[in-house]
Amino acid sequence: MGKPIHKVLLVAAVAVIAWPFFPNDEVQAWGFYGHKRINRMACFTLPPELFPFFKKHIDFVSDHAVDPDRRRYAVVGEAPRHYIDIDHYAHNGVDPFAVVPRKWADAVAKFSEDTLNAYGIVPWHIRLMHARLVEAFQRGDVDRILSNAADIGHYIADAHVPLHTTENYNGQLTGQHGIHAFWESRIPELSAESYDHFTGRARYIDDPLTAAWEAVIASHAAVDSVLDIEKAPEFGMAG
């Protein structure tokens, strides 16, 4: 087999997120529709070494894209895996990404595990899921490969949702209550057919943790746009 296919997989999941994102209710990013579609599209970006396996199991990977949201209330510790309220850590123009250490151990040392869990751990959880996925591939455990692949696609998709990177995750601080479901569910359900889903091939990523942080940084940079555009009369929830 030549290539470390387990690593390529993560990349595919990451790469597919060039999909124009629009996120479901306050408990789930992307809604069921969005998550299923993102995982499905991710399979099509995979290189030839991986594609046949995932094509065979594409319905599983797509249908189970929403498992992490389904277990949010049943599994202790599940909820913070889906977001990071990065703006909790810095105010008054200070860059929160310069404040929060990227490595889990460093972040725990600085802020404590309780605090990190209180404000979300999505970038670190993507890294953990990647390690589990690699292990499943190494063992040749098809069931675990598929469940981990479906899960990691979910968390990576969540990391690409601007509203999953802010304390104002549902517009509650700016008089835009309900924007989370509007952005994650209603918009994609109404308009996904008109999106350009061509995202190109999956790209190999050496450093999944850095890639996860880069996704969060890019998402967070779009928070203002998401909120401002909703306020425009022609686009908003009232429209």
List residues near Zn ion by CB under 5 A: 28-29, 69, 82, 158
Contacts of 55 (CB under 8 A, 6+ apart): 43
User: Rounded to the nearest whole angstrom, what is the least distance from the CB of residue 81 to Zn ion in the complex?
Assistant: 8
User: Which residue pairs from 53-57 have beta carbons closer than 8 angstroms and sit at least 24 positions apart in sequence?
Assistant: 54/149, 57/146
For Zn ion, the closer CB: 54 or 169: 169
Contact in structure between 158 and 122 (CB atoms under 8 Å): yes
For Zn ion, the closer CB: 69 or 230: 69
User: Rounded to the nearest whole angstrom, what is the least distance from the CB of residue 32 to Zn ion in the complex?
Assistant: 10
Contact in structure between 25 and 185 (CB atoms under 8 Å): yes
For Zn ion, the closer CB: 16 or 29: 29
How many alpha carbons lie under 13 Å from residue 170 in its C-beta half-sphere?
Answer: 9
Packed helices 208-221 and 142-159: angle between N→C axes, nearest 10 degrees = 30
User: Rounded to the nearest whole angstrom, what is the least distance from the CB of residue 28 to Zn ion in the complex?
Assistant: 5
For Zn ion, the closer CB: 29 or 136: 29
Q: How many CB atoms lie within 10 A of CB 34?
A: 27
For Zn ion, the closer CB: 32 or 53: 32
User: Rounded to the nearest whole angstrom, what is the least distance from the CB of residue 205 to Zn ion in the complex?
Assistant: 21
User: Rounded to the nearest whole angstrom, what is the least distance from the CB of residue 233 to Zn ion in the complex?
Assistant: 30
Position with the least CB separation from Zn ion: 82
